[in-house]
Amino acid sequence: MTTNYNPKPIDTSDVVLTDDLNELVEKMAENVHEIWAQSRMKQGWTYGPERNDELKHHPCLIPYGELPEVEKDYDRDTAVETLKLILKLGFKIEK
């Protein structure tokens, strides 16, 4: 196992999302949460008010709309960076 791992994501700081793509961010963020929650539930996790890895309880196994903003921001960041990377790599996103 490598212990000198140094992540080097592609720099997307120069990419600006259009208003249309910013609208897409929230839909993507919600879907990211849904995929994560579905995966956890398939692994036997259930809702619990506090995270407990031994009991497989997690407080974020709730609908996206009920998540605290800090958790939504995590999903939004994933969506934003995914969209920015797609554009940085030269792809176009059209509705």
CATH topology of domain 19-88: Globin-like (1.10.490)
Ordered per-residue pLDDT tens for the chain, 95 residues: 678 999 999 999 999 999 999 989 999 999 999 999 999 999 999 999 999 999 999 999 999 999 999 999 999 999 999 999 999 999 999 88
- Predicted TM-score (pTM) of the model is 0.86
* Axis crossing angle, helix 19-42 with helix 69-88, rounded to the nearest 10: 120
End-to-end CA gap in the chain:
43
Task: Please report, for the chain, the start and end positions of each structural domain, with discontinuous segments joined by +.
Answer: 19-88
